[in-house]
Amino acid sequence: MSVAQHSILVLALRRQMSPTPLDRQAALRELLHDAEEGLIGFDPISPLKPILGDAFEALMDRLTRAVFLRYGLPWWTEEEKGRHKEADRLAAASEAVHVAGWSAEEVRAVLGIKIKPLVEDPLVALYGGTPWEPWPASVAADRFTAALANP
């Protein structure tokens, strides 16, 4: 699954989880939360990140801050970051099960994600299609660009 499709999924989950509508800045932060991975063309799974070390983490943080600066977004508050991480982990667990074919036990053991993966794909309600099917690159790009223009 592309970073673009994953980011749209996380935004959809945050909207579902939020008791009130997300404002434009919060929606953009969700949509752009992995933009640094798109910039470097590398999306490491969570267990690999500590192995890559502090320099890699610092680079990713600087790139994220640059993206947020470009879009005029304030940095996450602790509360916002916590809500985001819940949606991001739920998306990652669900993608691992439905897209990569992992078991829920493997998600817990390898990724350290304790959240129960979703059964239904929230993006089907928004875009139609086959549940949990990765979008072609051109479709993902078009949908991401549209979401970016109107978060």
What is the average pLDDT across 92-101?
Answer: 96
For the stretch 26-74, pLDDT in tens is: 999 999 999 998 888 888 877 788 899 999 999 999 999 999 999 999 9
- For the domain 3-149, what is the CATH code? 1.10.3210.10
Type of residue numbered 106: E
The pTM of this model reads 0.93
Report H helices in the chain.
3-17, 24-31, 35-40, 49-70, 78-98, 104-106, 122-127, 137-149
8 A C-beta contact, residue 136 and residue 108: no
In this structure, what token pair is assigned to residue 70? 């470009």
- 97 to 94, 115, 116, 141, 149: CA distances (angstroms): 5, 12, 10, 24, 31
Judged against a pLDDT cut of 90, whether residue 111 lies above it is answered with: no
Q: Which residue has the tokens 């129960």?
A: 116
Q: What is the dihedral of CA 87, 113, 63, 14, to 10 degrees?
A: 0
Mean pLDDT of 105-124: 94
Identify which has the larger pLDDT, 80 or 45: 80
Domain extent listing, the chain:
3-149
